Amino acid sequence: MFASTLEVENLTVSYFIKNRFVDAVKDLSFNLVTGEILGILGESGAGKSSVGWAVMRMIDPPHRVTGRIVNRGQDVMSMNERELGEYRWRRAAMIFQTA
């Protein structure tokens, strides 16, 4: 059995808009192992980019990200700034589609 490279469990991304939180992603879970590819498809506004930004831990307060994100055994949600820099430069990447 292969160990997961990326584990996302119960991911919820909420944006603070007009004095309330609005969920862009709610309770998303997936696991990837080395060699697997995940494509995220959906209509405009479906939350695809929010998933990527959350996995990169690039969503700042007052917005919120809850759930569990583990990359190669390391909890992304608890990384300090130095660890995040290493993670973003060496272990994770995000490619946006442009029109």
Q: Give the model confidence (pLDDT) of 37-56 as tens digits.
A: 888 888 988 999 999 999 99
Copy the structure tokens of residue 76.
């992304």
Give the residue-averaged pLDDT of 4-22: 95
Q: Measured between alpha carbons, how far is 76 from 81 in angstroms, rounded to an integer?
A: 11
Q: Measured between alpha carbons, how far is 66 from 13 in angstroms, rounded to an integer?
A: 7
Task: List the strands of the sheet with 4-17, edge to edge.
Answer: 20-33, 4-17, 64-71, 74-75
Higher pLDDT, 1 or 91: 91
Count of domains in the chain? 1
Q: Is residue 59 part of a domain?
A: yes
Q: Is residue 38 part of a domain?
A: yes
Range of the domain at 26: 4-91
Q: Is residue 80 part of a domain?
A: yes
Can you give the CATH number for the domain in which 53 is found? Answer: 3.40.50.300
pLDDT (0 to 100) of residue 83 = 95
pLDDT (0 to 100) of residue 51 = 95
pLDDT (0 to 100) of residue 74 = 93
Q: Is residue 96 part of a domain?
A: no
